[in-house]
């Protein structure tokens, strides 16, 4: 399976093994980009946006893990 990315009218084929991820990537790309073919700035902006979202999710996950560790230590587990 391949994901095809168009940047400045150049097409890049990227092999993706996980069909579910490929489907997610295609849907995500439709939400991230207005056009089928993007320029470097649009690609960079989307990358920064996704990295920011990932950073915020990791912060939330770490807070949840800290709360779980505190709760588990209270229970003596």
What local confidence, expressed as pLDDT, does residue 72 receive? 72
Q: Which of 11, 13, 15 is nearest to 37 (CA)?
A: 11
Gyration radius (Cα) of the chain, Å: 18
Q: In the prediction, which pLDDT does 74 show?
A: 73
| pLDDT tens-place string over residues 47-58 | 999 999 999 999
Domain count, the chain: 1
pLDDT, tens digit, 9 for 90 and up, residues 11-48? 999 999 999 999 999 999 998 998 889 999 999 999 99
- Residue 60: give the domain boundaries: 2-75
Residue 60 has a pLDDT of 97
């Amino acid at each position: 399976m391949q994901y095809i990315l168009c940047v400045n009218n150049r097409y890049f084929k990227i092999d993706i093994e996980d069909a579910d991820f490929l489907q997610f990537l295609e849907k995500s790309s439709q939400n991230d980009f207005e056009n089928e073919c993007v320029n470097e700035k649009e690609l960079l902006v989307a990358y920064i946006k996704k990295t920011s979202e990932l950073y915020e999710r990791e912060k939330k996950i770490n807070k949840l893990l800290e709360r779980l560790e505190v709760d588990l230590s209270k229970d003596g587990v």
